[in-house]
Amino acid sequence: MSAAAAGAPRVVGFVCDWAVATAGLTDEAGRLHAHPSVVLIRVPCSGFIRPSWLEDALRAGADGVFVVGCPYGDCLNREGNYLMQERIEQLQRRLQRRKVEPERLTMLAHGLHDREAFLADVAGLLDALGRLRPPAPAAARPAAPARASAEEGGS
């Protein structure tokens, strides 16, 4: 990671293939040139993303996660962006119950040529994440179920 990104929040962004065009905005590893602490992962449609992927990114150490879909009402795959927005709202509520700030997760909607607006939204997310406390290492992890074993006097 570059020196410029060393203190910046680490963020993972899932970007629909039909949303903002990222060609020329990223390096070969998928990091944004303007914000090297942000890694982008391209997906066929925002509706394709499973909420567990977003949770996994947080568990793996990301300070925040975002999804970029097509502009609302203009999804190539009919309603993938609306579906993802609902999933994100549900996941935000679930994270909040675990004492994880819901602001760590967001949905963006941009067209292919909305590069400047996209970069401005990412900068805004980075600013917002920078104002939050660093996440607790296990904050986004669901509690593991307790298991009794024979060694613990189970039989």
The CATH number of the structural domain formed by 11-132 is: 3.40.50
Instruction: Indicate the domain borders of the chain.
Output: 11-132
| Per-residue model confidence (pLDDT) at position 144 | 40
DSSP assignment of 41-91: EEES-GGG--HHHHHHHHHTT-SEEEEEEPPTT--TTSSHHHHHHHHHHHH
**Per-run averaged pLDDT (10 residues), the chain, 155 residues:** 67 93 93 97 91 94 94 73 90 93 94 93 96 68 43 44
Backbone angles phi, psi at 93, to 5 degrees: -65, -40
Element (DSSP H or E) covering residue 155: none
Q: What is the pTM of this model?
A: 0.81
